[in-house]
Amino acid sequence: MALGNARLFAPPDPQAKYCAHIDGSESALCVVLLQAPDTVEKVLVIFSGILHNAETQYPAYNRY
């Protein structure tokens, strides 16, 4: 799924806190936005994308 083309998996609860899990590699990155109003986390949105050649030239701490 490309960045900007993410899909909504569960409707957000405006009263609950949000949590983001972020992961990246030399060539791609992914972000998962979650909420856990109860004891079970529910996935709201997943964003992922492949880095372009120019973006892979930066150190990992400057990519995201």
At residue 15, what is the residue type? Q
Each of the 64 residues of the chain gets a pLDDT tens digit; together they read 444 555 668 889 999 999 999 988 888 888 999 998 777 888 898 888 898 888 888 776 665 5
pLDDT of residue 8: 63
pLDDT of residue 24: 84
> Taking the model in full, what pTM does it have?
0.69
Residue entry with tokens 């972000």: 31
pLDDT of residue 1: 43
Handedness of CA 42, 64, 28, 24 (dihedral sign): negative
pLDDT of residue 34: 92
Domain ranges of the chain: 1-52
